[in-house]
Amino acid sequence: MSLPESPTPPSGLADLSARAQHDLACLSYPAKPWVRASPAGADVLNCAIVGGGQYGQSLAFGLLRERVDRVVVFDANPAGLAGPWMTFARMIMLRTPKDLTGPDLGVGSLTFRAFYEAVHGAQGWDSLFRITRPDWQAYLNWHREVTGIDVRPASVVTRVAPTADGLFELDVLSGGQTRTWRARTVVLATGAEGSGARVVPPMIRDGLPGSLWAHTNDPIDFTRLAGRRIGILGAGASSFDNASAGLEAGAASAELCFRRPQLPLSNPRRWMEFAGFLAHYPELPDLQRWRYMKRLYDISQPPPEPTFRRAVEMPGFRLRPATPWLAVREHAGCVRVDTPSGTLEYDFVIAGTGLSVDLAQRPELAAITPGVALWGDRFQAPTGETDPRLSAFPYLDRWGAFCEREPGSAPWASRLFAIFRGATLSLGPSSASNSNIRYTAPRIVSGITRQLFLADADRVFDEFMAQEHHELAAAAVAGVGG
Q: For ligand FAD, which residue of 433, 440, 449, 451 counts as binding (CB under 6 A)?
A: 433
432 binding ligand FAD? (CB under 6 A)? yes
Closer residue to ligand FAD (CB): 87 or 339? 87
Kindly report the backbone phi and psi dihedral angles of residue 254, in degrees, each rounded to the nearest multiple of 5, phi listed first: -145, 120
- The minimum distance between CB 403 and ligand FAD, in angstroms, equals 21
Closer residue to ligand FAD (CB): 95 or 415? 95
Q: How far apart are CA 257 and CA 244, in angstroms?
A: 15
Closest among 376, 366, 371, 372 to 396, alpha carbons compared: 372
Q: For ligand FAD, which residue of 16, 49, 94, 390 counts as binding (CB under 6 A)?
A: 94
364 binding ligand FAD? (CB under 6 A)? yes
440 binding ligand FAD? (CB under 6 A)? no
353 binding ligand FAD? (CB under 6 A)? no
Please check whether residue 373 is in contact with residue 404, taking contact to mean a CB–CB distance below 8 angstroms. yes
DSSP state of 408: T
Closest among 425, 440, 405 to 287, alpha carbons compared: 425
DSSP state of 318: E
Please check whether residue 459 is in contact with residue 36, taking contact to mean a CB–CB distance below 8 angstroms. yes
Closer residue to ligand FAD (CB): 51 or 231? 51
84 binding ligand FAD? (CB under 6 A)? yes
Binding to ligand FAD by CB under 6 A, coded x per residue (else -) over 137-156, reads -------------------x
Closest among 190, 243, 247, 166 to 76, alpha carbons compared: 190
Which residue has its beta carbon closest to ligand FAD? 53
DSSP 133-194: HHHHHHHHHHHHHHHT--EESS-EEEEEEE-TTS-EEEEEEETTEEEEEEEEEEEEEEETTT
Closer residue to ligand FAD (CB): 167 or 355? 355
Region binding ligand FAD by CB under 6 A among candidate stretches 75-83, 198-206, 330-338, 474-482: 75-83
Beta strands 334-339; 342-346: pairing state: antiparallel
102 binding ligand FAD? (CB under 6 A)? no
Region binding ligand FAD by CB under 6 A among candidate stretches 69-77, 325-333, 380-388, 395-403: 69-77
> Cα dist. 58→121, 144, 266, 437 in Å?
25, 9, 30, 8
Binding to ligand FAD by CB under 6 A, coded x per residue (else -) over 205-244, reads ---------------------------------x------
SS3 235: coil
Return residues touching ligand FAD (CB under 6 A): 50-56, 74-77, 82-84, 89, 94-96, 156-157, 189-192, 194, 238, 364, 419, 432-435
